[in-house]
Structure 1
Amino acid sequence: MHHLDITALEARYGTHTVLSGIDLSVGRGDVIGLIGPSGSGKSTILRVLMGLLPPASGSVKLDGETVDYANARELRRLRDRIAIVFQQYNLFQNMTVLQNVTITPIKIKKRPKAEVEEEAKALLAKVGLGDKLNAYPDQLSGGQQQRVAIARALALRPEILLLDEVTAALDPELVSEVLDSVRLLAREGMTMMIVSHEMGFIREVSSRVVFMANGRIVEEGPANVIFDAPTQTRTRDFVSKILRH
Structure 2
Amino acid sequence: MAHLDIRGLVARYNNATVLDGIDLSIERGEIVSLIGPSGSGKSTLLRVISGLLPPRAGTVALAGETINYADRRSLRRSRDKLAIVFQQYNLFGNMNVLRNVMVAPVTIQKRDKKTVEAEACALLAKVGLADKLNAYPDELSGGQQQRVAIARALCLKPDILLLDEVTSALDPERVGEVLDTVKMLAADNMTLLIVSHEMGFVREVSHRVAFMADGKIQEMGPPAQIFGTPQQPRTQAFVSRILGH
TM-score normalised according to structure 1 size: 0.99
Unaligned regions of 5+ residues in structure 2, if any? none
Give 1:108 deviation, angstroms: 1.5
Q: Which residue of 2 aligns with 1:134?
A: 134
Separation (CA, whole Å) in 1 of partners of 2:220 and 2:201? 17
Calculate the aligned-residue CA RMSD, in Å: 0.8
2:51 aligned partner: 51
Taking every aligned residue pair, what percent have the same amino acid on both sides?
Answer: 68
> Match of 1:40?
40
Give matches, 1:146-225, under 5 Å: 146-225=146-225
* Aligned equivalents of 1:65, 1:107: Cα separation in 2: 25
CA deviations on 1:187-236 (whole Å, 9 max, x unpaired) are 11000000010000000000100000010000000011100001001101
Secondary structure of 1:131's counterpart equals: helix
SS of equivalent residue, structure 2 residue 162: strand
Q: Which residue of 2 aligns with 1:81?
A: 81
Whole-angstrom CA distance in 1 between matches of 2:175 and 2:98: 22
- Structure 1 residue 73, shift from structure 2 partner: 1.3
Measure the CA separation in 1 of the matches of 2:232 and 2:104.
Answer: 44
Task: Count residues in correspondence.
Answer: 245
The residue that corresponds to 2:101 in the other structure is: 101
Paired letter, 1:54: P
Give 1:14 shift.
3.2
**One-letter amino acid matched to 1:100:** N
Distance 1:207 1:149 in 2: 24
Structure 1, unaligned stretches of length 5 or more?
Answer: none
Counterpart amino acid of residue 227 in structure 1: F
Q: How far, CA to CA, are the matches of 2:63 and 2:152 in structure 1?
A: 24
Amino acid at match of 1:181: T
- The code of the aligned residue for 1:128 comes to G
Which residue number corresponds to residue 230 of structure 2? 230
TM-score normalised by length of structure 2: 0.99
Q: Equivalents in 1 of 2:237, 2:86: separation in Å?
A: 28
Residue 15 of structure 1 and its aligned partner are, at CA, apart by 1.9
Q: Deviations over 1:48-102 (max 9, x none)?
A: 0011111100111111121100001111111110000001001000111000000
Question: Which residue type is aligned with residue 104 of structure 1?
Answer: A
SS in 1 for 2:80: helix
Q: Aligned partners of 1:108 and 1:55: how far apart in 2?
A: 24
User: How many angstroms apart in 2 are the aligned matches of 1:232 and 1:239?
Assistant: 11
Quote the Cα distance in structure 2 between the aligned partners of 1:166 and 1:233. 28
Structure 2 distance, partners of 1:80, 1:86, is 17
Deviations 1:103-144 (A, max 9, x none): 111111111111101000110011000110000000000000
- Establish whether residue 30 from structure 1 lines up as the match of residue 30 from structure 2: yes
